[in-house]
Structure 1
């Protein structure tokens, strides 16, 4: 992957803030396609593969988190910093409670932040608020995710989010996003997290049928499925 011209500034800030992971959640069933293809892919790339590589039978086991990409960027993969966007995560889990039996949280190396096409949004990238404040790939856009005071709004209300008591690794808003273009190779995955050890074992066995899972830990950490952005949630991962 090509790096941003000022990638070292990003690397220094990632180190200073002790950011260890980017986070992507998905129905656990999707792990089969991720390990068969060797990468996490965007919605647009998935649609192309469905047409160009029917032998992969992607319709058989790919569940889409969001059927409509309201952010207008179908060629990007939406990630959180250090902890899942629990508000969006809960919405998806509620929406698919009858057809998704388990979810996986994929932890990804923060080097993706330095990639040339990566974008940053202070809030959910599909929101008018984020679009008004600007979604972009500069170091300034990255720093804005960690502002001390962040003025946010939606159709019904406005509010200010503050960093009081928040660890340096977390963006000010739980709904801030890092958008990575097109693909994330499996070499960037550091671990895959489940709510229980039983689910981790089951889906490791299933994914292993489709690809090599030997270098990626499948683990249990129920804290990452909660609402509290505790630094301890990522300890040991």
Structure 2
């Protein structure tokens, strides 16, 4: 481990960050697994336009070569807005991909203590100071209270922009909003021969509910995604 990686690892430990989170429409999941990587919006536009959604075009942060991630919990504010878009009326399901936090040390990563699009990317900073700014006692109008859940940034929309692509080996879990969706996603991927059992699956409706997620983080109520396995696997256990 390099000195830079060690410094980031120690900082993540201080703040209680054990994972990063990335929201994506469930229709993208097949492409991610087939391709073996999570790609940036720029790469999607150039190489897989059929998976390039209108939300990918609105990269007001100015870094379409990077992948937006949040600390410990996903950006449910972004999801709430994205779900309202007409292009997702027939595709309402999303998944939360949890990723290894070591990605914050990737060269070129940028950090924003607020939504990275705020001020068209003017809050973005590189390096350890950039990471630390996301966990400051006060960020804009937000003050970090003593009950604030560990791992969550002070402003819940704080982001790290990770240079893409991100190999699927960095995925630590795939989280969905309910058991019915889990079964559907798993079956669909298995039908295409993509071996979804390679990944850890979990269910957590709280991660997909802006108000409930905010309440729990601010009040210090634990959020633990429930592990999920296919019914036939449970029966055979």
Q: 1:66 deviation in Å?
A: 3.1
Is residue 199 of structure 1 aligned with residue 181 of structure 2? Answer: yes
Q: Kindly indicate whether the alpha-carbon contact (under 8 Å) linking 2:202 and 2:226 is maintained by their aligned counterparts in 1.
A: no
RMSD across aligned positions (CA): 2.1
For 1:55, the equivalent position in structure 2 comes to none
Q: Where in structure 2 are there 5+ consecutive unaligned residues?
A: 228-237
Match of 1:118 among 109, 119, 134: 109
Superposition pairs of residues 14-93 of structure 1, within 5 angstroms: 14-50=12-48, 59=50, 63=53, 65-93=55-83
For 2:200, the equivalent position in structure 1 comes to 217
Match of 1:180 among 155, 162, 177: 162
Query: After the TM superposition, which of the residue ranges 121-130 and 193-202 deviates more from structure 2?
Result: 121-130
Deviations 1:67-108 (A, max 9, x none): 321111110100111112121110011224513131111111
The count of residues paired between Structure 1 and Structure 2 equals 217
Q: Where in structure 1 are there 5+ consecutive unaligned residues?
A: 51-57, 152-159
Deviations 1:168-227 (A, max 9, x none): 311110110010012111111111111111111111222231533222122221111123
Tell me the distance in 2 between the aligned counterparts of 1:210 and 1:72: 36
Tell me the distance in 1 between the aligned counterparts of 2:31 and 2:2: 29
Scaled by the length of structure 1, the TM-score of the pair is 0.83
Tell me the distance in 2 between the aligned counterparts of 1:99 and 1:8: 45
Is residue 137 of structure 1 aligned with residue 126 of structure 2? Answer: yes
Which is bigger in relative contact order (C-alpha 8 A, separation at least 6)?
A: 1
For 2:137, the equivalent position in structure 1 comes to 148
Q: 1:236 deviation in Å?
A: 5.8
More helix by share: 2
